[in-house]
A and B are shown apart, each in its own frame.
Chain A
Amino acid sequence: MDGPFGIALQLIASGDAALMQIIALSLRVSLTAVLIACVLGLPMGAGLALARFPGRGAVIVVFNALMGLPPVVAGLLVYLMLSRSGPFGALALLFTPTAMVIAQTVLILPIVVSLTRSVVEDLWAEYREQLRSLGAGRLRAVPTLLWDGRVSLLTGVLAGFGRASAEVGAVLIVGGNIAGHTRTMTTAITLETARGNLGLAVALGIILMTLTLALNAAAWGAGQWARGRLG
């Protein structure tokens, strides 16, 4: 059991402290980014679905395009903002978990906004007259539509989490992969593979895959349950 897989399983089974610390930080950063992206993105997406203003089409196209924003570019942008000579340099956030959260939020936000817009726009077409008749204007319709679209929206939120937990470029650039401070599962895999330390890399890979699988299974189950329960 000296191969990378053997070492990986031993590391996981022993609950290696460094390993656990990396996992905890990864989850903390990605989940915080998802949370912030939802708080901002759900109302933004719904607003974009219901509002009519000049340039709306352009905004939609930009958000759709940003869903494909390369993580390294997002990282670079946040790096420029946060570096000492950048506009927010005085905050000294570069190479901290906070910077990583910001970079991942930038990555996820377009996914949440675009998916929310699409879901809410479809619902609005169906609900519009009825809600108007019941006495809900556009503004009041937003929370109603978000709530009624909750099952579909969960998929988007999950896609956002998937993107955040899988990316390496952005957290590497703004976090710096500092051991015990800003090292996440993906940056650790990159580093350990380069160093030939495959056991740790494989262990992290297995855990990353397992987490993703578990999350998707949970979301799928929740969706199935909700469809049966809510129609």
Chain B
Amino acid sequence: MRAELISARDIATAILPLRLEHAGVAVDGKPLLADLTLGIEPGRRLIVMGANGAGKSLFLRLCHGLIEPTSGRRIWADGTLRPDAQAMVFQRPVLLRRSVSANIDYPLKLRGLARAERHAIVARTLDRFGLSPLADRPARLLSGGEQQRLALARAWAMRPEVLFLDEPTSALDPSATRIIEEMIEIFAADGITIVMTTHSIGQARRLAEDVAFLNRGRLIEHGPAAPFFAGPQTPEARAFLAGDLIW
């Protein structure tokens, strides 16, 4: 599987690194994200942290291309405006009112893949994430944890180079959270770059290779995870980490 993913990618130009250059998003003149400059490197797990309202979700939407920067630039390595080889999993994923298999099939159909190829990818995806027993179940009737598993599986089937995850486990119980984290490890093992927001510091410690810390729409820390957790450079990040420890 992994070899297949890589060979598929060799044909297309790699889309990473993704670079933001002084990117900002303002709504009605009010800056919600400002002056973001960073590179998202291939093969890393980047965890985006920050308090509520710091702009974490907006940052993911900006990277993913759901919103456009109102200042600065977003540059994909392949030079396109919005490359296909990316996917996003939302905090509350929207599943279509059809079966589990049909939900995985839908984005593949949008990409114009032939029926036989789609069929093979869907079967492989269901198998890979233990969803085969649920294949014909209506997606909307799954439990919250199962729905999020399906959302991740659907994203995986799209063979992204980079996957954006917006607090994917915040609505889930601990065991469902563990399953999702295991799935994220599988993604990473397949060479898929992860950019994920979370408000759980424990989860960030478990998953992060790199950390980006946002405060009031600005990127105030960005670098490898270990030094960040050992000794954050800014008072805001120190307060954020300490706040969690008190609880």
A interface residues (Cβ-Cβ under 8 A, vs B): 126-127, 129-136, 140, 144, 147-148, 150, 229-231
Binds A, one of B88-96, B119-127, B209-217, B229-237: B88-96
| A–B Cβ pairs within 8 angstroms, 8 of them | A126-B94, A130-B94, A133-B64, A133-B66, A133-B88, A134-B107, A144-B96, A150-B97
Question: Could you say which residues of chain A place their CB within 8 Å of the CB of B139?
Answer: 231
- Nearest CB on A from B47, distance (A): 20
Give the complex CA separation of A231 and B247 in angstroms: 38
Does any Cβ of A come within 8 Å of B69's Cβ? no
Question: Could you say which residues of chain A place their CB within 8 Å of the CB of B84?
Answer: 135
- Nearest CB on A from B163, distance (A): 11
**Of B66, B98, B106, B138, which is within 8 A of A132 by CB?**
B66
Give the complex CA separation of A130 and B94 in angstroms: 6
B interface residues (Cβ-Cβ under 8 A, vs A): 61, 64, 66, 84, 87-88, 90, 93-94, 96-98, 106-107, 110-111, 138-141, 154, 158
Give the complex CA separation of A231 and B96 in angstroms: 10
CB-based contact A133/B97 at 8 Å: no
Give the complex CA separation of A21 and B219 in angstroms: 77
Give the complex CA separation of A21 and B58 in angstroms: 64
**Of B90, B97, B106, which is within 8 A of A230 by CB?**
B97
Other A-B pairs, 17, CB within 8 Å; known A130-B90, A148-B98: A126-B94, A129-B61, A129-B90, A130-B93, A134-B110, A134-B158, A136-B110, A144-B96, A147-B97, A148-B96, A148-B97, A230-B97, A230-B138, A231-B97, A231-B138, A231-B139, A231-B140
- Nearest CB on A from B74, distance (A): 16
10 tightest A-B CB contacts, nearest first: A231-B140, A130-B94, A134-B107, A231-B141, A135-B110, A148-B97, A133-B88, A230-B97, A230-B138, A231-B138
Question: Could you say which residues of chain B place their CB within 8 Å of the CB of A229?
Answer: 138
Residue in A127, A133, A150 with the greatest tally of chain B CB atoms within 10 Å:
A133
| Chain B binding surface, main DSSP class | mixed
- Nearest CB on A from B122, distance (A): 14
**Of A126, A133, A230, which is within 8 A of B98 by CB?**
A230
Give the residue name and chain of the B residue nearest to A231 (CB). Answer: B140
Given the known interface contacts A134-B106, A135-B107, the answer about A127 and B138 at a Cβ–Cβ threshold of 8 Å is: no
Give the residue name and chain of the A residue nearest to B106 (CB). Answer: A134
Give the complex CA separation of A229 and B140 in angstroms: 9
Give the complex CA separation of A135 and B110 in angstroms: 7
- Nearest CB on A from B68, distance (A): 12
Question: Could you say which residues of chain A place their CB within 8 Å of the CB of B87?
Answer: 133-134
Give the complex CA separation of A29 and B35 in angstroms: 64
- Nearest CB on B from A229, distance (A): 6
Give the complex CA separation of A47 and B158 in angstroms: 28
